Each structure stands twice: as structure tokens, then as C-alpha cells.
Amino acid sequence: MELHELYRVINVFVDLLRHTDFVAGFLVVIIFGAYRLIRPISLNFVIVNLLSLAFLIIMYNLDTIVVASIITLFIFGLCQGIARLTGRIRWVFALVGILSAVGLLAVYKYSLIREGIEFFYPSFSLTVQIFGISYFTFKLIHVIVDTYCRRIEAVGLRSLLSYIFFFPAFLSGPIDRYQNFSGFRRHWGTMAEQDFNYGLERIIYGLFQKFVLADYIRDWIMPVLGNIYQFPQGYVALCAAMYSFQLYFDFAGYSNLAIGTARLFGYRLPENFNRPYLKRNLREFWRSWHMSLTSWLRDYVYIPLGGSRRGYCRTLLNTLVLMVVCGIWHGSTWNFLIWGVYHGLGLVTVRVYGSLLQALPDARLWNQLKDFLEHSWFSYAVSLVITFIFVAVGWVFFFNSWEASLQIIRYVVSGD
């Protein structure tokens, strides 16, 4: 190997080491490999907690760990009250917990909220940062609501801390449920050989998706999307469409790293993606994209709003509100709100279209048409293309300001 080739290889390896995801994954593989040689199965859960602590120390400073722990202990205290008390006071405890978690998310994530606080309290300063704050608060809200609804009988302090700070899923999910985690905690030592092998496979697959495919596509398309007028319309359109795959490989890669790392210890995190770009409509797309988030939003936003139980128009409104919340959750700028409204209107359109199909007269000709639209390969291919184009246009708003997004779309469509 020539010197310049060796230099390139070393640079690539150093760049990988700079990624905290890779460092955490690499650290886990080494430590767990040594652990398996010793094989003290009773220490499995202890090692998981120590790795979670090591991960937090690598990612954050001590102040962040202390603040996050205090918040978790506060929520734990509220959950103890919710579980043991009766009457209206339970509702008050739950409301305080939910408002505290939502307020924490708002202060950390939305600059407008911070500016409003600073206006009334000029000395206010947010010096402690918590990365992964969205997932952190969603887990807390889940525990509060499920304790209030008696779906969680009793929250254990060790189980709660382990669940909240479980390092494979702390930064970007998947969003697991406390019941699954605490139930599996009792069986950490029963890991099968295939769990370890499967975990390594998912880690390797995730590294390839995230650091090869996603990074390659990003390095290709971002210079183009940042200077659209220097490139032909068709090429800009291709790069905009390829962003869909860059985002998928990046996020699915991280999910595979998380799922694989958890599986090294025998724990099964929920799947997050199921071939989303091969779905025939937007409704199916959202059932297979970031599935742990969509199921959380369904259970803790859509269903409490009434879901589909309060009439057709209310169902459409709840669907729109759900996606607006999803958009705001992803970011605080206008482009995320537009993205949420865009997908909300798309889901409403799909539901209306399905209702119109169901309303067709029960006659042979109409039944044949309905069968063709719902089951033919031609219909599937056309629907797949339409759905992908719709989603790809939405991603343009996702990664850019709304002004720049409209600029890209206008240039691709009209050349202006």
C-alpha cells in the first residue's frame, strides 16, 4: 500500500472515531466481547448500567447528567404519588408531570420560548444542554400517562433510571415502552447465542448504512442543493430525491446500531423502519417510517384527542393535529411546521380517497374498478411513485428553510 493510500485509510478511521455513535458502538463491542469470555451472567444488567453511565460521560458533562437525573427523580416521585393516591389528586400529579416534561422540552428546543423567559427574567441562561431531549421527555410522558392509566402498576427507581438512560436508544430512539424494558430486566442473564450474533450483524449493517451510504449521498447532494442555479433542473431534482435516501440510511443506520447494541445484551428494542419507500400510500408510509415515534404519537396524542371515535370530520382534524405536533416535535422553525401541515393534509387526502372508494355503489363494474385500484400491480406501481414523490417533496422542507425549500421546488418545476 502506498503512503498516500495509507494516509487516506487512517483519515477515514479517524473520522469514524470522531462520530460518537461509532465510539459508543465500538466501545460496547470490545467491553462485551471481554465480558463474554468471563461470562458472569448475573452482572449483565450491571454492565448495561455502567455502559450507559460511560456513554453519558462521553457525550455530556457532569452538570447535564445531574440535571437529567434530578428531573427523572422528580418524575419518579410524581409517579409514586399517582400510583398510591386516589381521587382528583392523581390527576393533578399527572398534569404537573406532563406539563413539566412538555415545558422542559419547550425551553430546550424552542428559542422563542427561551427568548420569552429571558424578556421577563433577563438573568435566565440555559447553560446545561441535553442532547436527545425529545426522546428523553417522550419517555417521561409515557411513564406518567401509563402510571395514571394503571397500565404500569408500580415504577421502580432502578428500572426507571435504567430505562430512561439506556444508552443505545438515548439519543435518537427507538422509543421503547417502560413495560417492555422493566419486564425484560428480570431476564438479562438469559441471553441466547443468536442474540449476540444478530446484534453484531445489525451493528455492521447500521455502520454501513450510516457511514458509507448516508455519508456518500450527503457529500454528493449537499453542494448541489446549496447552489441549485449552477446545475440543470433535472440534476437538482435527482439530488432532492436522493435526500430521501440519505435521510433514510442515516436514521435507519442509527436505529440499526441501537437495535444491534441492545441485542448484544439480549434486549430487543422495537423496529423503527419497514421498507417505507415501498408503500402504496402515505398512510402505509407512516406505519413503516420511524414506527416507534408514530406509535407514541398515536397513543399519546391522536387517541387522547378522540382518534377516529368522534365522527368523520373530527377524525380528519385529529389526523391534521397529529402531524402538526409531529412537525413541531422535529424542530422549532417554520419549515418543520409546514412539513407537518403538508403531511397532515396528505393523510387527510388519503383517508378521504379511501372513503370515496368505499362509497362506490355495490355493482359489478364499480367493484371491478375498486379491485383494480386496490390490488392491481399497475395501481401499486403508480401509487408507489406518487407516494414517493409526495414524501420527497416534503423532505425538501425538512432539511431547508421554507424560503430555500420553495426556491428549490420553483427551480425544479419552472427553472426560475
41-97 pLDDT, tens digit per residue, is 555 667 777 777 777 777 776 777 888 889 999 999 999 999 998 888 999 999 999
Pick from 406, 282, 404, 398: nearest CA to 344: 282
pTM for the predicted model, two decimal places: 0.85
**Is 228 a member of any domain?**
no
Are 403 and 287 in the same domain? yes
**Is 382 a member of any domain?**
yes
CA 335 to CA 394: how far, in whole Å?
10
Question: Given this model, what pLDDT does residue 324 score?
Answer: 95
Mean pLDDT of 250-258: 92
Mapping DSSP onto H, E and C, the string for the chain reads CCHHHHHHHHHHHHHHHHCHHHHHHHHHHHHHHHHHHHCCHHHHHHHHHHHHHHHHHHHCCHHHHHHHHHHHHHHHHHHHHHHHCCCHHHHHHHHHHHHHHHHHHHHHHCHHHHHHHHHHCCCCCCCCCCCCHHHHHHHHHHHHHHHHCCCCCCCCHHHHHHHHCCHHHCCCCCCCCHHHHHHHHCCHHHCCHHHHHHHHHHHHHHHHHHHHHHHHHHHHHHHHHHCHHHCCHHHHHHHHHHHHHHHHHHHHHHHHHHHHHHHHCCCCCCCCCCCHHHCCCHHHHHCCCCHHHHHHHHHHHHCCCCCCCCCHHHHHHHHHHHHHHHHHHHCCCHHHHHHHHHHHHHHHHHHHHHHHHHCCCCCHHHHHHHHHHHHCHHHHHHHHHHHHHHHHHHHHHHHCCHHHHHHHHHHHHHCC
**Is 116 a member of any domain?**
yes
Structural domain of 327: 276-414
Mean pLDDT of 8-35: 51
Asked if 330 and 398 count as a contact pair (C-beta separation under 8 A), the reply is yes
Number of domains in the chain: 2
Asked if 217 and 242 count as a contact pair (C-beta separation under 8 A), the reply is yes
pLDDT(333) > 80? yes
Question: Given this model, what pLDDT does residue 288 score?
Answer: 96
Mean pLDDT of 282-308: 93
Are 165 and 287 in the same domain? no
Mean pLDDT of 302-328: 92
CA 401 to CA 193: how far, in whole Å?
48
Model confidence at 27, in pLDDT bands (50, 70, 90)? low
Q: Which amino acid is at 119?
A: F
* Alpha helices, H only, 331-376: 334-358, 364-375
C-alpha atoms less than 13 angstroms from C-alpha of 101 in its C-beta half-sphere? 24
Pick from 252, 240, 242, 293: nearest CA to 400: 240
Are 280 and 183 in the same domain? no
> What is each CA distance from 118 to 29, 77, 102, 124, in whole angstroms?
45, 29, 19, 6
Are 56 and 174 in the same domain? yes
The string of pLDDT tens digits covering residues 361-385 is: 776 676 777 777 777 888 889 999 9
Backbone angles phi, psi at 63, to 5 degrees: -60, -40
Residues 6+ apart with CB under 8 A from 276: 248, 285, 288, 289
Asked if 145 and 94 count as a contact pair (C-beta separation under 8 A), the reply is yes
Model confidence at 37, in pLDDT bands (50, 70, 90)? very low
Asked if 293 and 137 count as a contact pair (C-beta separation under 8 A), the reply is no
Are 174 and 282 in the same domain? no
Among 106-115, 172-181, 244-253, 332-341, which is the least confidently predicted range? Answer: 106-115
Q: Where is the domain boundary, 127, 157, 189?
A: 189
Are 173 and 44 in the same domain? yes
Are 59 and 176 in the same domain? yes
pLDDT(18) > 50? no
**Is 77 a member of any domain?**
yes
CA 83 to CA 78: how far, in whole Å?
9
Are 168 and 284 in the same domain? no
For residue 386, give the C-alpha cell: 406518487
Burial of 38 by CB count in 10 Å (0-12 exposed, 13-18 middle, 19+ buried)?
A: exposed
**Is 97 a member of any domain?**
yes
**Is 260 a member of any domain?**
no
Q: Where is the domain boundary, 189, 217, 234?
A: 189
**Is 47 a member of any domain?**
yes
**Is 396 a member of any domain?**
yes
Pick from 243, 249, 245: nearest CA to 400: 243
Q: Where is the domain boundary, 189, 214, 230?
A: 189
pLDDT(100) > 90? yes
Question: Given this model, what pLDDT does residue 28 score?
Answer: 56
Place of cell 503512503: 3
